[in-house]
Structure 1
Amino acid sequence: MGYFLLAIFIGLLELLLIFRTRSMFSRPPFLTIGTMAILLTLLFIHMINCNAPLILRYYVITIFTVDSVLLVILLCYLLYVYYFLRHAKIQESDYLLVLGTNTFTKRVSPVLQDRLDMTIAAYHRLGDYPMIIVSGGRNFRPPLIEDNLMKDYLVEHGIPTSKILLENRSTNTIQKLEYSSILLKEDWNGENVPRVTIITSEFHIPRTMRYLKNLGILVSYLPARTMPVFKWPAMFREFTVIVWYYRYTIMSLMFIILVLFLSVLE
C-alpha cells in the first residue's frame, strides 16, 4: 500500500511541474529546479526498491527518465546563459545587429530597450564607427513595425540616421537573421568579411546561435541584461522552444535511457 501512496504523491508532483512550471518561472527558477530535484530523489528511491510491483516500477522509471533529461537540459541552458553574461565584452565590429522583439504598444518595451541601450553603449565604445542594423518587421498589430520604433529610439539617443539600416520584412528570429544578412551583404563594400556583433537578450543567445549555425554565419555576441521580472518567464519560453527544436534527439535519448533502465530491471 505504501508503494502506491508514494506513486500517487509522485504523480501529483509531476502534475504540479507540468501545469505550474510557467508560473514558477515568474521568479528565479530555483523553485522549479528544487521541486524537480525532490521528485527525482523520490523516484530514484522508489526505482531501486525491488519489492515494488513491476508495473509500478515501469511507471516510476519512465517518469524518472523524462524528468532527468529535461532537468539536465534546463541546467545546461541556464549555465550557457550565465556563461555569456560572465564573458560578455565589446569586440571590434563593422556592424552591430540588434534583434527586435514583440512590441504591443507604440513605446519601446523594457526588453527591447535593454537591447537598444547595449547597442548605444557598444556604438560609442567603438568610436561611433559601426553601422547599426535594427531588425524587426511587422508585429501582431499591423500599425506597429519594430524597426521604426527601434530607429526612433536610437536617433533620440544621439545615433545619426545615416548609421542605421532598417530590416523590416521579418516576423521571427530566423527571418531577422536571414534578411539582415542579405541587407548586410548589400551594404558592405570592403574587401574582407565584415565583422558583425549580434546584440540580443542574454536568454535569447543560445537559440540565436543555433539558427546562425544553420545559416553558416560567423559572428560575435553581446548579451543585453534583462530585468529579472521579464527575464525569468522569457527563459522558460526559450527553454521550451529549445526542447521543441531538438525534440526528436531528446525523444531518442529518452528512449535509449529508458531501454537501458528496463533491461537492468529485467
Structure 2
Amino acid sequence: MKLRRIAAWLCFVLAALIAAPFAVGFRSEGALAAIMFSVIGVLLFSPKWLNELTKKCRWVKTLLAVCCIFAVTVCWVVSAVMATAVVRGTSEEAKTLVVLGCQVKEGKPSEMLKRRLDAAVEYLGTHPECVVIVTGAQGSGEDMPEADVMYSYLIENGIAKERIFKESNAIRTSENIRFSAEIIKREELGNDVIIVTDAFHQYRAACFAKENGLFATPLSSGTPLFVFLIYWFREILAVLRMYILGY
C-alpha cells in the first residue's frame, strides 16, 4: 500500500509540474496528453478510499492500466529513439547550418528561438567558412515571418548578410527541411548540414533531412527547464504522427 501511495503522489506531482506553465498562458497538446496519463496514474495507484468507489467497475481500471502501460512503453521507446539524434556529434564536414524557426513576439525572437539563434551565432563565429539558412513562415499571432526576425537577429549579432539565406514559407518541420534542401541544392552547398534546434526536435528534423537527401548532424540549443517536459511529450506525439502520416 505504501508503494502504491508513493506512486500515486509521483503521478500527481508530475501532472502538477507539467500543468504549471498553463498558469502563464502556455498551451500544448503534448501537455494535455501528459497530464491525462498522469491523472490516470493517480487513479491506478489511488489510495483505498478511491479504490472503493471504483470497485464495481474494476474492468474500467484494468483497461486504464493496460492503456497506461502501453502509453508509457511507447513514450520510453520513442524517447530513446529521439535521444539517439541528440548524442551524435556535430559534423566538421558540414558548411551549412539550418536554423529552424519557432514563435516570435512583437518582431523579436521568443526565448526558445533566441537560444537557437545564439547557438548559431556562436558556431558561425568560430567557423567563418559556414553559411546559414533561417527557415520559418509567419505563424498564427505573429506580425512577421519568423525567418525575417531570425535574419535581422543574426545581422545584429555580427553575421554578414552574405552568409545568410532566408526561407519564409515553411509552416511545419517537414517544410522547414524540404524548402531548405531546395536552397542547398540550388546554391550547391553540399549534402552535409547542421540542424540548429532544441534537443527534443533533432530526431524528427534528421528524419526529414534524410528524406530530402541530406545528412544532418545536431547543434542543440538549451530548452528552458520550465517547459522542457511539455515540449518533450509534444514531440513524442509529433514523432508518432510522422510515423503514421508522414509529416
- Tell me, yes or no, whether TM beats 0.5: yes
For residues 176-227 of structure 1, the C-alpha deviation after alignment (integer angstroms, 9 at most, x for no partner) is: 11111111111116xxx43211111112123323433444532112211112
Q: Secondary structure at the match of 2:104?
A: coil
User: Kindly tell me: are residues 216 and 63 of structure 1, through their superposed partners in 2, closer, same or farther at Cα, counting changes over 3 Å?
Assistant: farther
Cα deviation, 1:123-162, whole Å, max 9, x if unaligned, reads 1232x11110001112224631111110111111111000
1:99 equivalent in alignment to 2:100: yes
Paired residue for 1:204, among 167, 182, 201? 201
Q: What is the match of residue 65 of structure 1?
A: 66
**2: CA distance, partners of 1:96 / 1:78:** 25
Deviation at 1:240, TM superposition (A): 3.0
Q: Which runs of 4+ in 1 moved over 6 A?
A: 31-38
Match of 2:112 in 1: 111
The CA distance in 2 between the partners of 1:143 and 1:154, in whole Å, is 19
Match of 2:215 in 1: 218
SS of equivalent to 1:197: strand
Measure how far apart 1:90 and its partner are: 5.8
Which structure 2 residue ranges, 5 or more long, are not aligned? Answer: 1-7, 23-30, 47-54
Aligned CA distance change for structure 1 residues 36 and 122 (closer, same or farther; 3 Å) = farther
Gaps of 5+ in 1: 1-11, 43-51, 249-266
**1:155 to 1:103, Cα distance in 2 relative to 1, 3 A:** same
| Offset from partner CA, 1:226-249 (integer Å, 9 cap, x none) | 12123233223223333444569x
Secondary structure at the aligned position of 2:137 is classed as coil
Corresponding pairs, count: 219
Percent sequence identity over aligned pairs: 19
How far off its partner does 1:85 sit?
5.0
Hey, what's the Cα distance between the residues in 1 that align with 2:242 and 2:85? 21
Work out whether residues 200 and 222 of structure 1, in 8 Å CA contact, stay in contact via their aligned partners in 2.
yes
SS at match of 2:122: helix
Deviation at 1:64, TM superposition (A): 1.9
Maintained 8 Å contact 1:91/1:197: no
1:98, 1:116 within 8 Å by CA — same for their partners in 2? yes
- 8 Å contact kept, 1:25–1:232: no
The equivalent residue for 1:253 is none
TM-score normalised by length of structure 2: 0.72
Q: Which residue in the other structure is 1:168 paired with?
A: 168
Equivalent residues of 1:95, 1:133 under 8 A apart: yes
- 2:50 is aligned to none
Correspondence list, 1:156-195, <5 A: 156-188=156-188, 193-195=190-192
Contact 1:36 1:71 (C-alpha < 8 Å) held by counterparts: no
Cα RMSD over matched residues?
3.8
Do the aligned residues in 2 keep the contact of 1:120 with 1:159 (CA within 8 Å)?
yes
User: Measured at CA, do residues 213 and 36 of structure 1 come closer, stay the same or move farther in structure 2, by a change above 3 Å?
Assistant: farther
Q: CA deviation at 1:105?
A: 2.1
Contact 1:40 1:67 in 2 (8 A): no
Counterpart of 2:125 in structure 1 is 124
Q: SS of the counterpart of 1:139? A: coil
* 1:219 aligned counterpart, secondary structure: strand
| Distance (Å, rounded) in 2 between the aligned partners of 1:89 and 1:36 | 40
Q: Are residues 1:23 and 2:19 paired?
A: yes
